[in-house]
Structure 1
Amino acid sequence: MPEATEKKMGPWGRFLAMPADNPVKTVIVAVVLCLFCSMIVSAAAVALRPVQAENKVLDKRRNILEVAGLYKPGIDVTETFNEKVEPRLVDVEAGTFSDAADPATYDQRAASKDPARSIGLDDDPASIGRMAKLASVYIIRDDQGGIEKIILPVHGYGLWSTMYGFVALKADGNEVAGFQFYEQGETPGLGAEVDNPRWKAQWPGKKIYGDDGKVKIAVSKQVPNADTASYHIDSLAGASLTSRGVDNLIHFWMGEKGFKRFLDNLKAGTV
């Protein structure tokens, strides 16, 4: 190409005039394309973040309604939640309700990662590392204003993931009304069967505490007898570590370091 013509074309013209298989042209096109695509993806992620956060809250509320036995397909989840569910905060160590934060906006998971708002655990069967000082609980009241159900958040490590869920208790703070996870990453077809409706159907009607006040409910392979049937949950077939994780987390959260003090105070009417 004559030098005068090349100068007249300018840098962009010279670039376009390069052969399609020119290595320099190939690298430049690839880099520009990658930068453009990354900008599109980043912009979409930022734009959709509020929608994702809203959907996450909606899914959590749906799970609370489900475990409380209040969910029906087609209902307005937000409206039903606001009408039927009373969010509260509990000081776990004291076992009392707390007004230290707004229950509607409190993020228990974020608090558990903040040393100023959480407690480090030495005896940690649920493998959660730290526990938030304040926990979100959800109260369902009857027509007379009395407590009908208490929904408590629970979480703990299974085989591959930290499983987050809810246990719903009846007003006595002992009989299970429902149990389910809303987030888990266990093995599909094995540990992920914690989401199987048939497995979850075992929980309602079971008791958490024995006559001595100790946590007696157990997820195990043992065949129940007359003494243990009221406390027995069948472990998941082929998923012994996930089953053990569920057993560990339910014992932790229903025990002395978890919600037992709160449930005892609630039963005694001192909260």
Structure 2
Amino acid sequence: MDRQGNTYTFLYASVMVIVVAAILAFLAQSLKPMQDKNAAVAKKMDILKSVQIESTAANAEEKYNKYIGENAYVLDINGEKKPGLEAFTVDLAKEVKKGDDERAYPIYECKLDNGQTKYIIPVRGKGLWGPIWGYVSLDDDKNTVFGATFGHKGETPGLGAEITTDMFQKPFTGKKLFDENGQFASIEVVKKGQSQGDLHKVDGISGGTITSVGVGTMLEDCLSGYEKFLKN
């Protein structure tokens, strides 16, 4: 075959594309178990952080098993346990697209060293540029926020991405999900300086209005599905 001809060039390029694609597919498949494990560890670290338990990649699994372990389950909209589902493996990205009655509502019970029980609820919503998510922990009154942690995929550094900082997350502690009449009120994220003294509001991020509003919407949408469980 003429190596200077178009046919040879085309065949050579085609073979190279196939070989490279095969190598990349093999590498992706080989690395997937490690990637899945890393994602699971990161998730456990976030869950623990919501109850103010610091962990590392090296000890997250050990601490998760100590404080939560098998005390995780899935609820339906009526606050009843759904059999056959594991809380940790529920894909919230898929669940939030379903109707309220069809969703699976995972929850984690955390037993702290002082004997207190905290209830951890995962949340997921939309920011400015992509998905946002987090974990909100409640005291054993199932109303008062004990802690909260949030993450994002692609929010703007210095603006919306600030939802991952203590400055934004710590003010959620002590806020209430229900008002004085026992009605679900959620927690609204408002303009800076407007939350003082309000048990159902926290300050948003200056310049990150859309992401801040997204957090508030996410909390109302996700936490409302646990209302019957929390009331009971």
TM-score between the two structures when normalised by the length of structure 1: 0.74
Which ranges of 4 or more aligned residues in structure 1 deviate by more than 4 Å?
A: none
Instruction: Return the offset for 1:252.
Output: 2.2
Counterpart residue type for residue 103 of structure 1 = E
From 14, 31, 34, the equivalent of 2:17 is 34
Letter in 2 for 1:176: V
Q: CA–CA distance in 2 between the matches of 1:212 and 1:68?
A: 27
Superimposed CA distance per residue, residues 117-164 of structure 1 (whole angstroms, 9 cap, x where no aligned partner): x8426xxxxxxxxx75322111012458x6521100111222222222
Aligned mate of 2:74, from 90, 97, 121: 90
RMSD (CA atoms): 2.7
Q: Hey, what's the Cα distance between the residues in 2 that align with 1:198 and 1:172?
A: 25
Q: Offset of 1:110 from its aligned partner? A: 7.2
CA distance in 2, matches of 1:97, 1:147: 22
2:217 maps to a residue whose letter is N
Which residue number in structure 2 is paired with residue 268 of structure 1? none
Name the SS for the 2:81 alignment partner. strand
Instruction: List aligned pairs for 1:122-271, cutoff 5 A.
Output: 132-142=102-112, 148-214=117-183, 215=185, 217-221=187-191, 223-224=193-194, 227-228=197-198, 230-255=199-224, 258-265=225-232
After superposition, the Cα gap between the structure-2 partners of 1:231 and 1:60, relative to the gap in structure 1 and judged at 3 Å, is: same
Percent sequence identity is 28
Query: Which structure would you say has the larger Rg?
Result: 1
Q: What amino acid is the match of 2:126? A: Y
- For the 8 Å contact 1:108–1:134, the answer to whether it is kept is no
What are the superposed Cα offsets for residues 227-268 of structure 1, whole Å, 9 maximum, x if unpaired?
Answer: 52x33211111121111111112122233xx11111111xxx
Are 2:67 and 2:112, in contact at CA under 8 Å, matched by a contact in 1? no
User: What SS class does the counterpart of residue 202 from structure 1 fall into?
Assistant: helix
Give the TM-score normalised by structure 2: 0.85
Is 2:188–2:200's contact at 8 Å kept on the other side of the alignment? yes
Q: Could you say if the C-alpha distance between residues 226 and 48 of structure 1 is closer, same or farther in structure 2, counting changes exceeding 3 Å?
A: closer
List gaps (5 residues or longer) in structure 2: none
Number of residue pairs aligned between Structure 1 and Structure 2: 230
> Tell me, which stretches of 5 or more residues in structure 1 are unaligned?
1-13, 122-130, 266-271
SS of 2:172's partner is coil
Residue 28 of structure 2: aligned partner: 45
